């Protein structure tokens, strides 16, 4: 009779079953209502089948943050920091080399050319 009460239970948009303890429902995109929830393996299966990483209804790229969040602190931010530092040092060295080359060229070639013009 009351359809709105029936749809209150959160069900997976793929297999239409509810989330349980070992198969929790995730909310990977910004869709709302009855298509909001999906099982992790249902989403993985859908992504493998459709070859899409985003929701075709809302266009939002599926977020796996709730699934991968326990691994986040182990992502070695020190390594990223070192890589960023190395790349900035490499850029600085490149610019230094470039300007040294330009300066050498100007200091060496220009007086030589000037000498030739004067002769």
Binding site for Zn ion (CB under 5 A): 12, 14-15, 29, 31, 39, 42, 55, 57-58
- Of 31 and 67, which has the nearer Cβ to Zn ion? 31
Question: 10 Å Cβ neighbour count for 63?
Answer: 13
- Of 15 and 90, which has the nearer Cβ to Zn ion? 15
Buried b (16+ CB within 10 A) or exposed e, 40-56: bebbeebeeeeeeeebe
CB of 12 to Zn ion, least distance (A): 3
Determine whether 39 is exposed, middle or buried from the number of CB atoms within 10 Å of its CB (0-12, 13-18, 19+): buried
CB of 6 to Zn ion, least distance (A): 18
CB of 7 to Zn ion, least distance (A): 16
- Of 57 and 86, which has the nearer Cβ to Zn ion? 57
Cβ atoms of 19 and 12 within 8 Å: the answer is yes
- Of 41 and 80, which has the nearer Cβ to Zn ion? 41
Cross-strand pairs, 38: 26
CB of 3 to Zn ion, least distance (A): 22
């Amino acid at each position: 009779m009351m359809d709105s009460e029936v749809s209150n239970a959160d069900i997976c948009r793929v297999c239409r079953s509810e989330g349980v303890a070992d198969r929790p429902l995730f909310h990977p995109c910004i869709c709302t209502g009855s298509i909001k929830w999906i099982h992790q393996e249902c989403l993985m299966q859908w992504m493998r089948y459709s070859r899409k990483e985003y929701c075709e209804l809302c266009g939002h790229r599926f977020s796996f943050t709730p699934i991968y969040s326990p691994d986040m602190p182990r992502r070695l931010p020190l390594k990223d920091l070192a890589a960023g530092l190395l790349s900035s040092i490499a850029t600085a060295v490149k610019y230094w080399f470039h300007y040294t080359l330009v300066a050498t060229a100007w200091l060496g070639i220009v007086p030589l050319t000037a000498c030739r013009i004067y002769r």
